[in-house]
A and B are shown apart, each in its own frame.
Chain A
Amino acid sequence: MKRFTAAGAPRIGLIDFPGSNCDRDCNDAFERHFGIKLIPVWHTEHTLPQVDAVLLPGGFSYGDYLRSGALAAHSPIMGAVKSFVSKGGAALGICNGFQILTESHLLPGALLRNRSRRFICKFVNLAVGSGNSVYQKQLGQRVLRLPIAHGEGRYYIDGEGLRRLHDQGQVAFRYADAKGHANDESNPNGAVDNIAGIVSENGRVMGLMPHPERATDPLLGGSVDGLAVLDTFLSSFM
């Protein structure tokens, strides 16, 4: 795992919306485990500071009234994020961040209300899909155990879109049993094809519903698999 000095650390912009509430946890995880201080970027900004990558944290941006991530997708800063990504910039969207990425069309598909119509908080197992992105290569055949906490995490994409996702190797994480077999029984929210996270065609934009920043210490739920995901995020642009 990487560990940086203040001078050598990568510059990661943390996109902060009113209602974002996992920003502090992301900061804490990157600082404690990697020595990286994230650079806060407020939603009203029209440009990004000099950054190597951006991180969109979880929460309830603008209250998530209307539809999760829908208002955030039209905030001033997302224009800058879009142009950053279009030039090959790396981005990681966690939970609400994933919702904002799909609402901004930086990732395909949409996130709908959980099938149970209830908020769900629990640990899930994830199987890593096959593809050429650094996420799929670096995390390989591992089974990851990460917590979820969302009310609108049911990934949806139409049949054609799903086929394309698979063809292009964009399915990164699928809800699975402890042995890593993706199946409906392990799917907490009714997501299409048990999808928990996807990457963009170029493999540089990652969106996932589970929270890697919450599984970075054995004391907190017994899993450190989140560290591997965050570490891979760093590899995606370094």
Chain B
Amino acid sequence: MKELNGDKLRGHLETMVLSVLEEGDAHGLEVIRRLEDRGCGLLKLKEGTLYPALYRLQDAGKVKVVREEKPSTGRGAPRRVYCLTRKGKRQLAQGRQEWVQFADLMGSIIGAPA
């Protein structure tokens, strides 16, 4: 199978981030790791694009910073650990529902039911 890059993920990144945060609190790099694990190596995300998505979610009150962790090297800025809020959980449920509808619709249009 071909790798999935940023263009194909546009519009879905925020729901994907919410879904991996449902698994537990995580900092940015951990979010990337979880996404790649779930993507079975086919998901290739440019890591710099994660933070704008996290900021959008944070501004919308869907995720929040729970704590800051010192880097393992002891050098540099602390890592912010994000968690899902109630609003984020509701958004995730809605995102899942919308995805099922979208996949059904696309499947019926292009003749490849999900």
Q: Note whether A and B form a binding pair.
A: no
B residues within 8 Å of A by Cβ?
Answer: none
